[in-house]
Structure formats: structure tokens, C-alpha cells
Structure 1
Amino acid sequence: MRTESEMLNLILQIAKNLQVEAVAMSGSRTNPKGPKDEFQDYDVVYIVDDLDNLTSALSWLDSFSKRIIEQHNVLGNRRLYLMLFEDGNRIDLTLCPKDHIQEWVDSEADYTVLKDEKGLFESYTTSPGRYWTSPASGIDFKKACNEFWWVSAYVAKGICRKQLLYATDHLYGICQQELLKVLAWQVASDRGTVDIGKNYKYLFQYLPTEKEKEFSVLLDFSSKEKITQSLFATMQLFHQEAQSLAHKMGFDYDKEVAEKMIQYAEERLETNETFTK
């Protein structure tokens, strides 16, 4: 695998060959909290004067080396080339017209300029707070609780109908995301605004080890029985964390609704013989 130094030199050399106006890098390689391992991508942007000319023939991408797989995407006025190379390195390369730098800047939490002889980035500011979580407001907390308990009924319905993809999608995609939100608010209530990262990837760095283990157990969706167990464990953990946060922050928490929704799910799943106490 090529080293970081070799990759950065290559990125800048190809930019020079293409007469790119400016080069910047974002993502985990510019974040001191990011894990330093072989899976770190090179999230790079080339600021270009003539996008059509560069995209009309893409043979220059071969200069990065042979690719195992790639994707080409259109993002607004930008073009994105995702490339995984045979040596294991990966580059997510964006071509951005110089008249649309703001569009790229707005899509990133932070970035480091690698080349900018004309000062094209000087008038732009980063948005490092993109994945930061601040202490919850009472309204946000109420909405999160309502969303969690409302959607929990969809999960129960999916299990009862043996629609396991439907149930899992609502359980992980909505209910457990609301649980993660409450856990992030727990951290923010103690520490103030914190960087939890994209998809909560840094969240458990702020929490006790047992909390991550407790959440990880919820992620077994391998059978109808496991999904059912996950639903009830998720409900109990959300109920526990929501009460704790409400007490800490002085929020109203409708404990009666929570307990009725747990009972609602129990009654229906027991009737359908999918839940065993």
C-alpha cells in the first residue's frame, strides 16, 4: 500500500498535470480525532476552470493506478469519482468548478487546503459544527420521544406480519436513531457542544464502555425472535435514557405514553407468539 506521503504527492502531481486551480482535502485525514488506519479515504477536491474538458475523457484517472472498483456521480455542479485501488488505497475525488466552491465547502465539515496559489479558498469559511451535537431543547426532546414511540408501533406491526425487512428498517433506521440522538444529548448535557461525527461514529468515545456494549446487543436482526428482542430492549433503553435526560434537563417526559406503548407492543407480539417473556 502506498504511504500517505506518496499518495499526497501523486494527488498534487496529477493536479499540476491537469492544471487544476486549487486542491483541498477533507474527511478523516484532516480530523485529529479520526482513526489512523488503512481504511482512511483521501477525500480530495480539485477546483477546476473547465469541468467539461476534464470530464469529456477520463483516461487521466488511470494516473492514480489500477482500480478494483469505482463510481462516478453527479452532485449538483460537481462530479465525484470514488476509486478503490488494488493496493487498498481509496480516493474520493471531487471536480468542482471554481465558480461553485461554496457548494463544495457547504458539503464538508472541515477541510485543509493543499494547493491554492490564487487564493481561491481565502474567502470561504469551514463549517466544523456540521456533526456537532448541542444540548437538547425541550421541544426537540419532545419530538424525539414522540417519534420513537410512534414508530415503535410500526416495528411491532412488521414483526406481527412477518415483514422483517419493514420491521428492521423502522427499528434501526428510526427508533434506534432516536435512541442515539438521546444518548448524544446525554453527552452534550454534561460536556456542552460535542463532535459526535458522521453517523454517531465518535459517540461512544464519550460514554462508558458498557453503554456501547448495551447498544451493540440491539443490533442483532438475524431472525424474527431477535428483532422482537431488539425492539423490547430498545424500548427499555430509550425509556431509561429519556427519563434520565428529562430529569437532568428539567424536561417533561410522558412516562404514561411510554409504558402504554411498551404494553401495546407486548400484547400484540405475545398474541402472535413471537415474544416469550
Structure 2
Amino acid sequence: MRTEKEVLSEFKKWAKEKDFIRAAILTSSRVKPDAEIDFLSDYDIELYVSDLSIFKKDDSWLEPFGPIMVRWPYKPRSTGFKPGNWITRLILFKDGVRIDFQITDQQQIKPDAYDNGYKVLIDKDQLTCQLTEPTYSEYIINKPGKEEYETLVNEFWWNAYYVPKYLWRDEITYAKYMLDNILRYSYLHKIIDWYIGLENDWSVETGALGKNFKDYLRPEIWADLEETYTGADITANWKAFIKMTDIFRRLAEEVGQELGYKYPVRVDQEVMEFCKSIFTCNG
């Protein structure tokens, strides 16, 4: 696999030779001072070009970077990653190097556009001269307001009863979707974020999909969270569900208490009583 030095050197040589490339900016983990980089870390490069049609037509412009293993999206298009006229090309090359390109024909960049870090790889028109120094605060956990907190904790309990409902019916696909997708990623992860933010004076970020939770949670909480992951066994999923509701309750109560927000104790108790009655029901 090519090294970072090789990848960026090859890219800059190519970009200098192509008149339609006006500027290129490296972003994300490879420009953050405290980021942990390994051989699987991708290169996030944003291209400012004079002619976007070259990139919309096909991927022939990628040939100098090596043979492609797989790409996304399959055809060049906008994916909504950034507002405005951008197209996305995420490329995994056969040697394992991955480069994520976001490409635009915009010729102006807001001064704070790269507040979470950047490195200018090439700039032929001084498009980047107004960029401010990054504060690396774009993804810092924000303290929730009262309405945001109350909405989230109440919606968790609305969605919670779907898990025992479909476990009882032996419909594991629906139950797993509710447990591992809706409850976990829409609600539990948000509460964990707020708890970590509270514990760290709202000055840290936990990464995409909670990838840094283990770095911030106390070992006993992390051990409990691990118990919420299980396979397809119905009984094991009942236990994972109970463990997930326990963690949610514990952290949500603590966050609410510290911020002066009311946790819905009655809703929690009544929903859990109903869920447990489903578990013991013989039909």
C-alpha cells in the first residue's frame, strides 16, 4: 500500500498538471492534530475545479491514481454531502488506498468553511487565502436545550415497546431493526453523547456513530454497553433490550438532573411494566 507521502505527492503532481484543477484541500482525520491515523484511514480531498462536466461524465480522470477496486456512488452525482453544486466520488483502489473526493466548480470559499481542520494541497487562484485558522470545534458535543432533551427521552420510550412486541412475535428482523438501529443510534447514542459532554465540560467529540465512546465512558458503563450487542437469539435480545433501557435510564436521569430537566419517570415505569408483561405473556 502507498504511504501518505506517496499518495499526496502523486496527487499534487497530477493536480499541478491539470489546468481544470484550481484548488485542493485535505480535510478530516489526516489534518487533525490529535487524530489516530492507521493504514485504513482514508484521504478526504475537496477539489475546486473550473469545469465540473469532466467529473460528471465518467471516472476516466481517476486513472492516474491506480486501478479501482470499488467506488461510491456507482455513477458521479451529488450526494448532499455539502450544500451547493458538488459531486461525490469515493474510491477504494486495489492497493487498499481510499480517497474520498468532493468536487465543485464553486470559486469562492467561506473563511470558516474548514473550521474542523484543513491542509491546502494546491491553490492556483488564491481561493484559500481568506481561510481562518481552524478551531476544531465543528463536532464538539452541544448541550441540549430543555425541549430537545424532553423530546428525545419521551420518544425513546415510545419506540422502546416495539422491541418486545416483535420479539414476542418471533419477528427478529423487525425487532433487531428497532433495537440496533432506532433505539441505539437515534436515542441511546445521543444520550451517551450528552453524558460524555456533561462529564467533559462540553469540550469533546465522540466521532461518527460513537466510535470514540470507549475512550470517554467509565469501564463499567462501557462493559454494560457491550452487553447490548447480541445475535439473533430471542432470549439474548430480550436481555440486550433490558440492558439498553437500563443504560438509557441511568444516563438520561443523570443528564436531566445536572441540567435541571425533568426525566419522565412515570412514562419509563409504565412502558417497562408493559414490556415485561409482553415477555411473560403466553398469548
Q: How many residues align?
A: 271
State how far apart, in whole Å, the 1-side matches of 2:57 and 2:192 are: 48
State how far apart, in whole Å, the 1-side matches of 2:36 and 2:165 are: 40
1:78-110 superposed Cα distances (whole Å, 9 cap, x missing partner) = 2221211222111112221124756xx48x944
Please report how far the alpha carbon of residue 272 of structure 1 lies from its aligned counterpart in structure 2 after TM superposition. Answer: 4.8
Alignment of 1:142-221 (within 5 A): 142-177=150-185, 178-193=187-202, 194-221=204-231
State how far apart, in whole Å, the 2-side matches of 1:272 and 1:24 are: 61
Equivalence for 1:23:
24
Bigger mean CA offset, 120-129 vs 148-157 = 120-129
Structure 2 letter corresponding to 1:120: L
State how far apart, in whole Å, the 2-side matches of 1:114 and 1:49 are: 17
Structure number with the higher helix fraction is: 1
Contact 1:133 1:188 in 2 (8 A): yes
State how far apart, in whole Å, the 1-side matches of 2:197 and 2:101 are: 34
Contact 1:131 1:198 in 2 (8 A): no
Asked if residue 79 in structure 1 is aligned to residue 87 in structure 2, the reply is yes
State how far apart, in whole Å, the 2-side matches of 1:54 and 1:183 are: 40
Alignment of 1:134-145 (within 5 A): 134-145=142-153
1:96-133 superposed Cα distances (whole Å, 9 cap, x missing partner) = 1124756xx48x94432221232213445668444221
State how far apart, in whole Å, the 2-side matches of 1:54 and 1:189 are: 44
Structure 1 letter corresponding to 2:160: S
State how far apart, in whole Å, the 2-side matches of 1:158 and 1:251 are: 32
Please report how far the alpha carbon of residue 213 of structure 1 lies from its aligned counterpart in structure 2 after TM superposition. Answer: 2.2
Kindly tell me: are residues 188 and 54 of structure 1, through their superposed partners in 2, closer, same or farther at Cα, counting changes over 3 Å?
Answer: closer
TM-score (structure 2 length as normaliser): 0.86
Please report how far the alpha carbon of residue 64 of structure 1 lies from its aligned counterpart in structure 2 after TM superposition. Answer: 0.5
Kindly tell me: are residues 151 and 7 of structure 1, through their superposed partners in 2, closer, same or farther at Cα, counting changes over 3 Å?
Answer: same
Contact 1:132 1:197 in 2 (8 A): no
Contact 2:191 2:252 in 1 (8 A): yes
Kindly tell me: are residues 272 and 130 of structure 1, through their superposed partners in 2, closer, same or farther at Cα, counting changes over 3 Å?
Answer: farther
Kindly tell me: are residues 157 and 129 of structure 1, through their superposed partners in 2, closer, same or farther at Cα, counting changes over 3 Å?
Answer: farther
Contact 2:162 2:175 in 1 (8 A): yes
Query: CA RMSD of the aligned region, Å?
Result: 2.4
SS in 2 for 1:79: strand
SS in 1 for 2:99: strand
State how far apart, in whole Å, the 2-side matches of 1:128 and 1:110 are: 6
Bigger mean CA offset, 5-14 vs 54-63 = 54-63
State how far apart, in whole Å, the 1-side matches of 2:170 and 2:281 are: 13
State how far apart, in whole Å, the 1-side matches of 2:169 and 2:139 are: 37
State how far apart, in whole Å, the 2-side matches of 1:62 and 1:7 are: 14
Bigger mean CA offset, 187-196 vs 2-11 = 187-196
SS in 1 for 2:72: strand
Structure 2 letter corresponding to 1:152: A
Structure 1 letter corresponding to 2:89: Y
Asked if residue 227 in structure 1 is aligned to residue 256 in structure 2, the reply is no
